Structure 1
């Protein structure tokens, strides 16, 4: 294999597919950072339309990912414009990433009825109800109790949704204990709720691996490879959702900070974090994961 092929292991058709799925999101982040949320939202809409035209012409189907992202972005961007509060566009990233992670995790769970779905979402629902009716701390305790019962009933075999819920709750409980601020437990409810909604939608709508459905005409992997690819990206979306909340809540919108000799507001730091850390990290992660997936190539 030539050196360029090793560095960029995609052909022309695969490149168009990747750009059509993720290009609008990259455009939105860059334009939003340079010119604000209005221009960023319009950039997302225009590039999404371009992606739809290209994908329909080449693959005879619309790009799923940008359509979902654009809907969420426009909704939360409108709330920011109406309320003049950047919190909405910031928390949009958290909600969308957690929602999509739950959607991806549902790829490994087959819907057989509302009762089965209720049992799967039981720990999260218990945490939400107790948190709203009694206390945030009580909600965390309820989650761990119900999860322990589920662990015993399942003989130690918990689903991806259970494990990720335990993980994010442990992280936010740790932050709550360190900062003595209940805002972290409130954030945990937001992330867990988005996970649960995404999982429920995916379980009822999708009947196959999401990424396999989106990319199967371009990439050809074994079923084990598709499952590994989807599960890895689901966990990565969880990581970015949690990281987004840590930065959003650590650096306040109405305060100014001295960072690397620059005077920056909390929103400036959040945008810089998205562009300088998360965006390159996402690209690097996708590239490394795709290279690693070559062992599952058909």
Structure 2
């Protein structure tokens, strides 16, 4: 099934919307109310994405599942630890997927980010390694923040700090993607070899 390319503003709304809901509900009430609202917002964002594009990015699916599972544990057990450790689990999974893929000569960056890249094998390796290390670092950083800071500080860090750092890191990768950009000989070949880092 062909997927419809979403409008940039729609994509931004589905990605940042749930985080803003989480932030405002926590500020108004508490972390448990924010967790429930976050779960609902994530579910709505996933449904809206599918309705509008007939497609849900892999990253969004993985994030949504982990949010629903750990959010449910947080509410049922009334223990905020679960929602706080959720980002660590997600970042750890992404780092493991990317790092594991490299061990088998594959890059899952294009699949994970739901974007099309045409890079040389060396470009794939470098980009994948950078994102794997970034996610691993974010997992460690989340653990440090939630274990040493207040809940409100952690929420601010999650909503604004992580978003800002991720955007800066992503933008910083643009020179690399341009440097190792490769014009495909054909669309079929490009799709076949996308993410293959075993060559070169």
TM-score category, normalised to shorter length? 0.7 to 0.9
When the two structures are superposed, what TM-score results if normalisation uses the length of structure 1? 0.52
Instruction: Provide the residue aligned with 1:38 in structure 2.
Output: 36
Deviation string 1:265-294 (CA, Å, 9 cap, x unpaired) is x11010111223221011111111124321
The 8 Å contact of residues 19 and 38 in structure 2, kept in 1 or not, is answered as yes
The CA deviation at 1:33 is: 1.0
The 8 Å contact of residues 98 and 238 in structure 1, kept in 2 or not, is answered as yes
d(CA) in 2 for partners of 1:109, 1:23: 35
Counterpart of 1:222 (choices 117, 120, 136) is 120
d(CA) in 2 for partners of 1:226, 1:17: 25
Structure 1: runs of 5 or more not aligned: 1-12, 111-206, 252-265
d(CA) in 2 for partners of 1:82, 1:270: 21
Instruction: Provide the residue aligned with 1:286 in structure 2.
Output: 170
When the two structures are superposed, what TM-score results if normalisation uses the length of structure 2? 0.75
Deviation string 1:4-47 (CA, Å, 9 cap, x unpaired) is xxxxxxxxx5x758975x76443222211111111111111111
Query: SS state of the match for residue 117, structure 2?
Result: coil
* Superposition pairs of residues 69-218 of structure 1, within 5 angstroms: 69-110=63-104, 208-214=106-112, 218=116
The CA deviation at 1:63 is: 1.2
Counterpart of 1:244 (choices 142, 148, 159) is 142
Instruction: Provide the residue aligned with 1:269 in structure 2.
Output: 153
The number of equivalent residue pairs is 170
The 8 Å contact of residues 17 and 55 in structure 1, kept in 2 or not, is answered as no
Instruction: Provide the residue aligned with 1:52 in structure 2.
Output: 50
The CA deviation at 1:62 is: 3.4
d(CA) in 1 for partners of 2:98, 2:16: 21
d(CA) in 2 for partners of 1:18, 1:213: 21
Query: SS state of the match for residue 62, structure 1?
Result: coil
d(CA) in 2 for partners of 1:17, 1:223: 29
Q: Which runs of 4+ in 1 moved over 6 A?
A: none
State the Cα RMSD in Å.
Answer: 2.5
Structure 2: runs of 5 or more not aligned: 26-33, 183-200
The 8 Å contact of residues 69 and 96 in structure 1, kept in 2 or not, is answered as yes
Deviation string 1:114-161 (CA, Å, 9 cap, x unpaired) is xxxxxxxxxxxxxxxxxxxxxxxxxxxxxxxxxxxxxxxxxxxxxxxx
Deviation string 1:154-205 (CA, Å, 9 cap, x unpaired) is xxxxxxxxxxxxxxxxxxxxxxxxxxxxxxxxxxxxxxxxxxxxxxxxxxxx
Instruction: Provide the residue aligned with 2:194 in structure 1.
Output: none
The 8 Å contact of residues 107 and 208 in structure 1, kept in 2 or not, is answered as yes
The CA deviation at 1:65 is: 0.6
d(CA) in 2 for partners of 1:18, 1:221: 27
